[in-house]
Structure 1
């Protein structure tokens, strides 16, 4: 019988608001409320155990009129706002949370906290909510989080991450044993803690072709402990010039692209736990696996997959690093080669606003996958855009774009690019030998960026708020 695993994700903007509660003029304790989405994972792909991930959705300040008293050792407030919070949590299927500070103490729940929260938890469960979270932060910005459950249990959440342009663990890590000799050279640049962090991260790679196989190979070599690779396709002869690890015998054996990556990881014997999932992004069988990830790379070349990942990133606050290439040969022999890496986190514009996704092409691709007979019928009737000739592909360019993408994750973990962490949008013009950073304005009609109520919303019915 598996024990339920728990983890919590705080949007970096929400964690900053929690930290600001420490800024009281007299050093007294302060408090606030929050609402969390809940991501129920039937089976974690790496452990097989059920998991509950709570994702910060909204920070709710306590009105001045509801504050009763505070000192360096206590804070009290009236329960009117708490009852309103419970009503909202119940109606929207969210988990309410209590936040308070220990500015002169430690991030640990006191016996008084235990007593007060136990009573509030009983009230919450009478109201019909799924759980009650409690968060405490101390003057050193250390944090502790626990979950009260309807069965009377109180469970410490030991894995808490802050996500945004920067990604970091807010709680101490339960470390895997790694061979430090293998990763010594990168520890000399980023410190040993870098290797500790990446050994604990769960990284998804959607697409295992040219760019995806390069991304996965780099993650394995860097020492990321848990890697998920999602792709439906098998290797073909034309893949051999650019898919890392692919061999002619694999094509003859019709090996899947994801098993190619799994074999490559096994042969390197560096210790990563690689899960190979032969599936489309967005399929029923891929949902739990992708919801379990801390960061996802989008290395798929289809618009339907990108639309899915775009929504997944928004609903579940999972940073998305999307990458792509565009190559064109002109009649005079001149070539244009563009590489792109776009990061979508809270505060960055989505793939739709950047013009990366074509909704019509996405609809066509979904139809081709789900109803191929009807797709070909409509294509003959000219209702579907033709696919045209295969796009050019050169392994040096696909691999360099993969390096650009993985380095964005490294920037999120180390800030080697500066305190801003990941860059929102980078376009490398290989032919012109420069990088450009075009910005995108949020579209008022964008179904993702314009809907702030879905940020961190996690599980909803229907999944990701879509039908079909």
Structure 2
């Protein structure tokens, strides 16, 4: 599936850009975005907005409702900041009148300015426009001045907005599709989603995403179907267990049976491999359905580096000892939505340096750490085939609905209030935590893309060839 080019912008950066470009005075304003181009996506470039340079209104030579002229010193600043990593420079201005097309004046300006940028940094550079509701159109020019319209401008914040280049024109409707409608299905058919971990929760997530109509579904899992997990992996059969089939191959075959060919891709690798990381990085949405902290850390880093919305789900059944045996203490689940530039899974202490170290030691010496009792669904109880499909479905459905609530808002309250959902089936409770309830640290990984070593891990670095 050729997804076309993407411009990805974190919600907080887009909000700053919109506030500056549309101050309410009816005149055009200007800014510059410095974008990291993901070179591992030659079939559909991805531009990650990393830095924002605002051109002060009082520093512009002239501002009119349909025209703006500003000092070249801000271009020089942009070039200076972009040179070290050969970032692409995107010149952005507003159309306060709502005209969502590039004007002849815009074309003439690009023909004059863009070649100068190419002389300084020989990578694609471009221009973009924004109208009153924040919708954007963008285009990039190769050094040859061959023009490429950006297929999709995606803004990932508390809400997720998709602005399609071929759907936006001077008199087009800027309304987003309504949740649960056929218009939503049409848009999903143009998006790519990655599901990391295709087991108890992941198989349910993948099933729902496939039937919702996503155009491309990438499955990541290295494990195989066994008899002990037939009771919680959707669509798995006795024959699959007997043949020890890869989970991703089994599930991909199931998706093909009702969606046809060309929709699903099975990657039988751990997410801790370079191949899997790069494949996930080309998707529009990421669902983390893994059972290890290290895998969650990798998904967290992918989301930050490639500006992807991340949905992470997990369930657990704590127990307590009784005189003769044990009893269920709780039956609970957690769903986290992580937006680029927001509180990461690390900030939320889903994993910590200490817990990662403990997990490593436990895996390195499982006997000493009694892994069979500490891991798994039911804490403290060794169960080869826990009967948890109903719990998995509860968490998986909440995770998928969380995406729908972000991309096609239907909640009565702001999505900012639902950065984390916790539920307890034992207490019949559901609690929510707002984005602001987490202490957010500086995210040095944001929009670094495929900078080497990949994700900052030497083990994922590009292999040297003789």
Aligned to 1:201: 191
Structure 1 segment 222-371 matched on structure 2, within 5 A: 222-269=212-259, 273-332=263-322, 333-335=326-328, 336-346=330-340, 348-360=342-354, 362=356
Aligned to 1:462: 453
Deviates more, 1:218-227 or 1:58-67: 58-67
Aligned to 2:407: 413
Q: CA deviation at 1:228?
A: 0.8
Q: CA deviation at 1:355?
A: 1.9
Q: CA deviation at 1:453?
A: 4.3
Select 1:133's aligned residue among 105, 126, 139.
126
TM-score norm. by structure 2 comes to 0.85
After superposition, what is the alpha-carbon deviation per residue over 1:185-205, rounded to whole angstroms, capped at 9, x for unaligned? xx9973332112222221110
Stretches of structure 2 that go unaligned for 5 or more consecutive residues are: 168-176, 379-385, 460-466
Q: CA deviation at 1:272?
A: 7.3
Select 1:431's aligned residue among 419, 422, 426.
426
SS at match of 1:51: coil
Separation in structure 2 between the aligned mates of residue 92 and residue 66 of structure 1, nearest angstrom: 28
Separation in structure 2 between the aligned mates of residue 318 and residue 289 of structure 1, nearest angstrom: 13
Q: CA deviation at 1:142?
A: 4.1
Q: CA deviation at 1:22?
A: 5.0
Structure 1 segment 437-456 matched on structure 2, within 5 A: 437-438=432-433, 442=438, 449-456=440-447
Task: Calculate the aligned-residue CA RMSD, in Å.
Answer: 2.8
> Taking structure 1 as reference, are residues 418 and 292 closer, same or farther at Cα in structure 2, changes over 3 Å only?
farther
Separation in structure 1 between the aligned mates of residue 74 and residue 259 of structure 2, nearest angstrom: 54
Q: Is the CA contact 2:4–2:151 (under 8 Å) kept in the aligned structure 1?
A: no
Separation in structure 1 between the aligned mates of residue 90 and residue 372 of structure 2, nearest angstrom: 53
Separation in structure 1 between the aligned mates of residue 145 and residue 272 of structure 2, nearest angstrom: 36
Aligned to 2:104: 111
Q: CA deviation at 1:458?
A: 1.8
After superposition, what is the alpha-carbon deviation per residue over 1:123-145, rounded to whole angstroms, capped at 9, x for unaligned? 21222252212111234654220
Residue 215 of structure 1 pairs with residue 205 of structure 2: yes
Q: Is the CA contact 2:6–2:150 (under 8 Å) kept in the aligned structure 1?
A: yes
Select 2:371's aligned residue among 379, 387, 391.
387
SS at match of 2:32: strand
Separation in structure 1 between the aligned mates of residue 396 and residue 228 of structure 2, nearest angstrom: 19
> Taking structure 1 as reference, are residues 451 and 41 closer, same or farther at Cα in structure 2, changes over 3 Å only?
same
Aligned residues: 434
Aligned to 1:180: none
Q: Is the CA contact 1:36–1:57 (under 8 Å) kept in the aligned structure 2?
A: yes
After superposition, what is the alpha-carbon deviation per residue over 1:44-87, rounded to whole angstroms, capped at 9, x for unaligned? xxxxxx22100112221113453111111211111011101111
Q: CA deviation at 1:168?
A: 2.2
Deviates more, 1:238-247 or 1:219-228: 219-228
After superposition, what is the alpha-carbon deviation per residue over 1:121-178, rounded to whole angstroms, capped at 9, x for unaligned? 222122225221211123465422000222222211122222122122112567xxxx
TM-score norm. by structure 1 comes to 0.85
> Taking structure 1 as reference, are residues 127 and 3 closer, same or farther at Cα in structure 2, changes over 3 Å only?
farther
> Taking structure 1 as reference, are residues 438 and 142 closer, same or farther at Cα in structure 2, changes over 3 Å only?
closer
Residue 397 of structure 1 pairs with residue 397 of structure 2: no
> Taking structure 1 as reference, are residues 206 and 189 closer, same or farther at Cα in structure 2, changes over 3 Å only?
closer
